[in-house]
Structure 1
Amino acid sequence: MATGWLGWSPEVAWRTPLPELFLAMDARIEWAQMTNPFGGKPSGSKEKPKPSTVAEKLRQVLTGRQA
């Protein structure tokens, strides 16, 4: 995720703590939604996911297991 989707070098990716990686991923998603010329999520009530939810979803993706 860090080297591909975020475009970080491998050295930076390995040295970055997971909470910072999660924040960077959230920021990248938010930026992509804000700059999407074809629309995106409605700008109505934005509910930010809890950090534990983000961590759990990432864990599911990386391990291939469902909760």
Structure 2
Amino acid sequence: MAVGWLGWPPDLAWRTPLPELFLAVDARIEWAQMTNPFGTKGGVQKEKPKPSTVAEKLRQVLTGKRAA
């Protein structure tokens, strides 16, 4: 994910702690939403997800564990 989607070099990706990686992914998602030239469907923006929510979902995918 860090090398492909974020475009980081492999050595940086391996040295980055997971919390920083999750923050970078959250920022990338937010940036992609803000720079979307087509806007949101219907012109109504939905509530911005909390960074901890996005990070938690990614953590669940990477670890294979479900939230309690």
What is the correspondence of 1:1-67 to structure 2 with a 5 Å cutoff? 1-40=1-40, 42-43=44-45, 46-49=47-50, 51=52, 53-63=53-63
Residue by residue over 1:10-41, the C-alpha shift from the partner in whole angstroms, topping out at 9 and shown as x without a partner, is: 10000001111011000000000000001137
What TM-score do the two structures reach when normalised by structure 1? 0.72
Structure 2 length-normalised TM: 0.71
Report sequence identity in percent.
74
Which structure is higher in RCO with an 8 Å CA cutoff and minimum separation 6?
A: 2
RMSD: 2.3
| Consecutive unaligned residues in structure 2, runs of 5 or more | none
Gaps in structure 1 of 5+ consecutive residues:
none
